[in-house]
Structure 1
Amino acid sequence: MTNEYIDRVTFFSVNDLSSSHNLSNAEKILKQQKQIDSSNINDILEIFHIKKFFDEELYHPSWSVNEINEFILTVKNYEKEIPKFIANINDSNLNTLYTQIDWYQYKASFFELINNFNAFKRLGFDGFSQILQAEPYCIEYILTQRGIVEYYDSDIKNFLLNHPVILTENILSIYEVKHDTPQPQRYLPKSLTSEDIESTILNYLNADDAHPNFVQLIVRAKNKDKFKISDKTRLKAQKLCETFTKKIFSENSSLRYGVEISFKEVMQDNKQAYIDDDHIAHFYYNFEFIKSNSQPYLLFLNFIHLFEFLDKQGRITLLSQEKDMGVFERISGVHSKNDYRNNVSFNLKDMASIAQINGYERILRKLDTSIEEILHYIFTDFFHSNYGFANNARLLNISTTYSYFEKIRLLAPEFESILKQFKLFVEDGSIDFELIQISSLPTSIRDIPSLNSKKYLYLNTLNQNAIHYSGLICSDQSWLASVENANKNKYSNFLQLIANEKVKFEDFYDYQKPHINDLIDMGLIKLDENDIVCINNIERVYILQDLYQNGFASFHYYDDALKREALQMEQEGLIYFESTLFSKMEQSYFNYYLNKSEFNNGLDLRNRYLHGTQGNPNDNGEHEHYYFIFLRILILTLLKIDDDLYIANILKN
């Protein structure tokens, strides 16, 4: 078989990009038709992985039909050696065989074979205990095998209870952790009770090697099935988190960043921005420009033109997006599947937007107005006079004399009212306040409709072609992003590569060429007369890139060619449309700040202030910060309504 462990054939998943490379290695083995040594555990496990490719009917694109048929017969002959190997496993050699595995990906497969052939039923647990004693964390491999876990229920339970760190981190991995790649399902012993789990978590919190990321997950974890955490345990975890945080800042080892906002009397441009060496973002705005364009609607539009709260498609720019994360930030740390994923870019945008609103409010006072006054005018007057919106729309103009705590208590229900008013207008063409008053239930962000059909388009994540091909051309992790004759570190994805370099088909490595052929077959790229790779269907590539980078697109901002292509992609099942005021990603952004309906780490501001569970009313600093968050939400909502009304009027006229 193969001589170097790094070259061993490994099956990861059906859609894994390494499949072509692994199948090339499998081809070398299958063509040799070498006699298999059924006592060699690594050869047996390699055959097992090759068999997985053939079970899924995954073949190398270069193989002919005759070669495939020959390889199928060879694999069938090879796989006969697997049960022979399993039959020779016993209590005395189990641990020895495990230590002979030379490729870590095969360790999990060893237990998978024992499970699949029910070999565990003739083995005692002593052999497994020896393995676990030397390598405790390999329990994670065992937990993926349901038969083994159920058969050795009490033995595995006792091992886990004696290793609270391992048990706690596995429990959190099962119930809370968001995994960026597909993970095999893990099973816990059925005899493990919720009391066992609670006790183990408490032991974990008392352990010296408790990890800050897992402790943070305990604070916010959702109770589910046997996984139930009491408020006392959560409080203990929260205090431990605070201790970790203080330690990090006292050691001055964390990345620090900040924001500075200035409005200048004399500036050549209307806005300037840069980030200095200390990671401070500086924003400068032209006060004379603001003063000379002081009509309320123009002042309102500064949230787009100056502060860039929306992009050119009317999408909120303040969202947490994967495209803003570096590779290290994307893969580092432990994150809950129920968390809104924060990152440095998101936190910086969050800080900057609050500082922009705060600074802008001070500037507007010099112009004898306020943000609250402008928003009141926009919703109750401008929308009606310019777009034909309801003439009875209501929005309270909150006095500047109120404290921030009082302002929030007034603003929170106003936000709710705006959503209900717009929803009624879309559905009925008018606003009936008696109808609004009948229902006291809060309005879900996702239920607010748009006036425009096909408002947003999304990539169909259920379509494997949509995911596969958009990843190949757009991902910074794509295997097509570099070739031998180009600067490997210069381009972050395949599209950048072929847009900036004259790359020929022959320049790609052998393992890349099948993917290039796939993209050609899909009509996304082509080879010109000089055999240079170039874009073929520009509109489709643009849409795939737009959706990959931004998560959604606003259909009505596309030109006619892009619209036609988007409709064709819908017919092919590559994308789908929805008609809501806020896109799905924008809904998640709002939910993060307003409630805990979607995320464990949400600020829950709407419920806290409506139900009186907010902090100390006398803590003016905290309430000031939260007020500007509420104000930002209101600003963004009116910007989105303005955008929706604008599109509706363009389409109508």
Structure 2
Amino acid sequence: MRVEYDGVKFYSDFDMSLSYNFDKARKILEQFEKDIKYTNVNQIIELYNIYKIFTSKSIKAEYTQPYNIKVKQLIPVVARYFRGISDTSFLKQYHVVSVIYIDDFWELFDKFKVYENVSSGTFKTLINDPETTLYNILKYKDITRYYDTILAECMRKSDQTAEIIIEKFLEKKTQISETNCYIPPSLKPAEFEAILDKYIDSEYPHIGMLQLLASSQSSAECPISDKLRLKAKRAAETYLQERVANGVGISYGIGVMFRDSDQLISMEVSKSNQYQLTYDASWIRNNQDYPTLLNNFVYLFEYTDLHFRCTFPSVRSQLGIFEKTLGVKGIKEYEIGTAFRISDMKSSIEMKGYTAFISGFNIHIEDIYKWFFTEYLKDEFGVHGFIFNPPSYEQSFLEKCRNLPSEMDGILKQYNLFVQYGSIDRELLEMSSNPVTFDTLPSMINNKYVYANSAEIEREQFLLFSDQSMLHYLPNIKRSFKNFFEVLSSCEVKISDYPEWEINDIRWLEKRGTIHIDTSGMLHSIDSRVRLLQDLYDHDVVCPTYYRDKAEIEKLVLTGDLRYGNTLFSIPEQNYLNFMLNKSEYSNGKDLRNRYIHSTYPIDVHQQEQDYMCLLKIMAVIIIKINEELCLKYPVN
């Protein structure tokens, strides 16, 4: 068991403990003399942490200036001690290092090349101890290269190796775990499969690691066979089934019902997180014309909002703090959370219920889609040449899933030709073999979308709307707020209500033109700017077409804080479509297009039905987006 040492610790320039540790460090520095003979390695490492604190950009120079001479003397003292560590004293020194200083020990071991004084035999004794965390060592390239052979030998046997491989090659780096690590050159990628296979069979594999293995793609750096991915998938499923059987976890569900009601839409929520949505059946029964049945996807089911942004994509602002920071996420993973899962479940069951309900009137959704392309576009806009042959109602779900993605691609190619040439030349279409990607499909509307384009605009949004911004915490007001914007909107607050260390952020927002501070110190939001930033924060994209006053947008584009985009689908929509239809962009993609085209589909009919509902949803969104383009391009009085 390691010794306890209540020492000064530097975590980062932005850590909330920085002020506390600065006060502790200042007292120690006042007693520091460069000629003191230190015998405790923890005291030496503490001096190194004091040096980091006093050279931090987050500490004002006026506070550190009186100590500049002593601060400059710290590193020579630390260097002298570490360079004095020998082969015989190394293990003794390491084992008395406090747990809070382990990472610093290896940083200094590398910085002052202590490895040149420690033999391979001694180092081997240390790394073969199960209590030694290999990751702390592998963060340093020179140490890893110096002890290449014995580190590789150790990692072939160690229980830590599999997770190190997964974290390095498969896991997405976050602010919490952004440090890279190095694999000994002698440990070859061809050896990884056996190490990972052993990990899956181990007694306590991490569920997140198993899921990541199952969804990751093979690469030259980290080859993963399909057999290994399947084994990881089955192990993860078994783990989750056992937890559910033991009552561990949170469940939620959604039900959809069509029945006569006084309300067009109503919802009931049970204590067990079960949502029951009820839609007025009489509305649909009395409005069976195809335009209204299509409009229901917008105004009844809300597949898009009133700016015609699809509501399906995962949006960063919808992720909770634990969803953003905890768990294991893949390098190419489409990041989703509970809000996305509930929305996806809701829209899919709405499609299933809706198609079943209208089939009772002998109306099939596939026929409505065909009518849109072959009749509506011609009659409403004079647009000719679109051909769409959807699957028939009688076909199996397997046949439908094979047919619809192909027709979907055809529609997007036809749309692309229409935008480029103003008409659809069928012979030209038939000659084209180039795939159309979602990010290259153009819009007919200039400056259709607006996106964030600077770190400053991201910071503004964070300070205003994130629940992780400390500006919404007011110790003198006995009320909780969701974010700083809610503070400004719901109560009178002065700049003097905030501690000194938060005033810099408030002054910065004032300088940016986001808030105004009057002569009494009262804070006020600049509504036009804040509304725009909230729209951007909530959706990751803004649609200028639907803004009456575009002055704020144009101003922020000129300053480089925002940028325009001119595509059929917004970037969040492109990402969602790639996640659902392909596997090239995201390792956890549903791959609905390729799995049916290449006959790697699931044989479970229920899963095929679910996949078809997803494809029908996507087709509905494509229709809505194309219709929006034409309505904006050719407005009707």
> By the TM > 0.5 criterion, same fold?
yes
Tell me the equivalent position of 2:106: 111
- Superposed CA deviations along residues 402-453 of structure 1, whole A, max 9, x for unmatched, are 2222222221211001110111111211111211111234321222111112
Tell me the equivalent position of 1:84: 80
Shift of 1:102: 4.4
Tell me the equivalent position of 2:606: 621
**1:438 equivalent in alignment to 2:427:** no
In structure 2, relative to structure 1, the CA distance for the partners of 1:340 and 1:42 (3 Å cut) is same
In structure 2, relative to structure 1, the CA distance for the partners of 1:361 and 1:232 (3 Å cut) is closer
- More displaced, 131-140 or 288-297? 131-140
Tell me the equivalent position of 2:183: 188
In structure 2, relative to structure 1, the CA distance for the partners of 1:79 and 1:22 (3 Å cut) is farther
SS at match of 2:578: helix
8 Å Cα contact 1:257/1:279 also seen in 2: yes
Tell me the equivalent position of 2:200: 205
- Superposed CA deviations along residues 377-397 of structure 1, whole A, max 9, x for unmatched, are 222232343345x21211125
Gaps of 5+ in 1: none
TM-score (norm 2): 0.91
Give runs of aligned pairs for residues 496-575 of structure 1, distance below 5 A: 496-535=486-525, 537-560=526-549, 563-575=550-562
SS at match of 1:254: coil
Cα RMSD (Å) of the superposition? 2.8
Q: Which amino acid aligns with 2:419?
A: V
In structure 2, relative to structure 1, the CA distance for the partners of 1:50 and 1:458 (3 Å cut) is farther
Shift of 1:615: 3.2
Give runs of aligned pairs for residues 23-102 of structure 1, distance below 5 A: 25=23, 28=26, 32=30, 34-35=32-33, 39=38, 41-49=41-49, 51-52=51-52, 58-60=57-59, 63-64=61-62, 72-102=68-98
CA distance in 1, matches of 2:254, 2:476: 42
SS at match of 1:547: helix
Shift of 1:596: 0.3
- More displaced, 364-373 or 138-147? 364-373
TM-score (norm 1): 0.89
8 Å Cα contact 1:11/1:50 also seen in 2: no
**1:464 equivalent in alignment to 2:455:** yes
SS at match of 1:199: helix
Residue among 310, 321, 326 paired with 2:315: 321
Give runs of aligned pairs for residues 65-464 of structure 1, distance below 5 A: 72-102=68-98, 104=100, 106-125=101-120, 128-129=123-124, 132=127, 136=131, 138-163=133-158, 165-181=159-175, 183-265=178-260, 267-388=261-382, 390-460=383-453, 463-464=454-455
Residue among 456, 464, 470 paired with 1:473: 464
CA distance in 2, matches of 1:235, 1:337: 19
- More displaced, 444-453 or 286-295? 286-295
In structure 2, relative to structure 1, the CA distance for the partners of 1:646 and 1:94 (3 Å cut) is farther
- Superposed CA deviations along residues 568-590 of structure 1, whole A, max 9, x for unmatched, are 22222222221111112211211
SS at match of 2:634: helix
- Superposed CA deviations along residues 597-643 of structure 1, whole A, max 9, x for unmatched, are 11122221111222233233xx5333222211111110111112222
SS at match of 1:155: helix
Q: Which amino acid aligns with 2:151?
A: I
In structure 2, relative to structure 1, the CA distance for the partners of 1:505 and 1:396 (3 Å cut) is same
CA distance in 1, matches of 2:536, 2:37: 50
SS at match of 1:171: helix
Shift of 1:293: 3.0
CA distance in 2, matches of 1:509, 1:129: 51
Tell me the equivalent position of 1:612: 599
Q: Which amino acid aligns with 2:524?
A: C
In structure 2, relative to structure 1, the CA distance for the partners of 1:204 and 1:402 (3 Å cut) is same
Shift of 1:278: 1.8
Shift of 1:526: 3.0
SS at match of 1:553: coil
Residue among 608, 633, 636 paired with 1:648: 633
CA distance in 1, matches of 2:499, 2:343: 40
CA distance in 1, matches of 2:387, 2:352: 25
- Superposed CA deviations along residues 295-319 of structure 1, whole A, max 9, x for unmatched, are 3112111111110111122111122
**1:577 equivalent in alignment to 2:564:** yes
SS at match of 1:526: strand
Tell me the equivalent position of 1:495: 485
SS at match of 2:516: strand
Q: Which amino acid aligns with 1:551?
A: D
- Superposed CA deviations along residues 287-346 of structure 1, whole A, max 9, x for unmatched, are 222233333112111111110111122111122233333333433321212222333222
In structure 2, relative to structure 1, the CA distance for the partners of 1:314 and 1:485 (3 Å cut) is same
In structure 2, relative to structure 1, the CA distance for the partners of 1:28 and 1:455 (3 Å cut) is farther
CA distance in 2, matches of 1:592, 1:189: 35
CA distance in 2, matches of 1:321, 1:134: 44
Q: Which amino acid aligns with 1:481?
A: H
Shift of 1:144: 0.9
In structure 2, relative to structure 1, the CA distance for the partners of 1:507 and 1:385 (3 Å cut) is same
8 Å Cα contact 1:59/1:68 also seen in 2: no
**Number of equivalenced pairs:** 631
- Superposed CA deviations along residues 505-556 of structure 1, whole A, max 9, x for unmatched, are 2222233223223223333223223322222x33333333332332222222
CA distance in 1, matches of 2:447, 2:21: 42
Shift of 1:176: 1.1
SS at match of 1:158: helix
8 Å Cα contact 1:339/1:599 also seen in 2: yes
- Superposed CA deviations along residues 224-254 of structure 1, whole A, max 9, x for unmatched, are 2331122332232233233223323332323
8 Å Cα contact 2:85/2:117 also seen in 1: no
Q: Which amino acid aligns with 1:495?
A: F
Tell me the equivalent position of 2:621: 636
SS at match of 2:471: coil
8 Å Cα contact 1:30/1:71 also seen in 2: no
SS at match of 1:511: helix
Gaps of 5+ in 2: none
8 Å Cα contact 1:10/1:46 also seen in 2: no
8 Å Cα contact 1:149/1:156 also seen in 2: yes
Identity of aligned residues (%): 28
Tell me the equivalent position of 1:12: 12
- More displaced, 217-226 or 43-52? 43-52
8 Å Cα contact 1:393/1:431 also seen in 2: yes
In structure 2, relative to structure 1, the CA distance for the partners of 1:467 and 1:48 (3 Å cut) is farther
In structure 2, relative to structure 1, the CA distance for the partners of 1:184 and 1:256 (3 Å cut) is same
In structure 2, relative to structure 1, the CA distance for the partners of 1:75 and 1:521 (3 Å cut) is farther
Tell me the equivalent position of 2:473: 482
Shift of 1:361: 1.4
Q: Which amino acid aligns with 1:598?
A: E
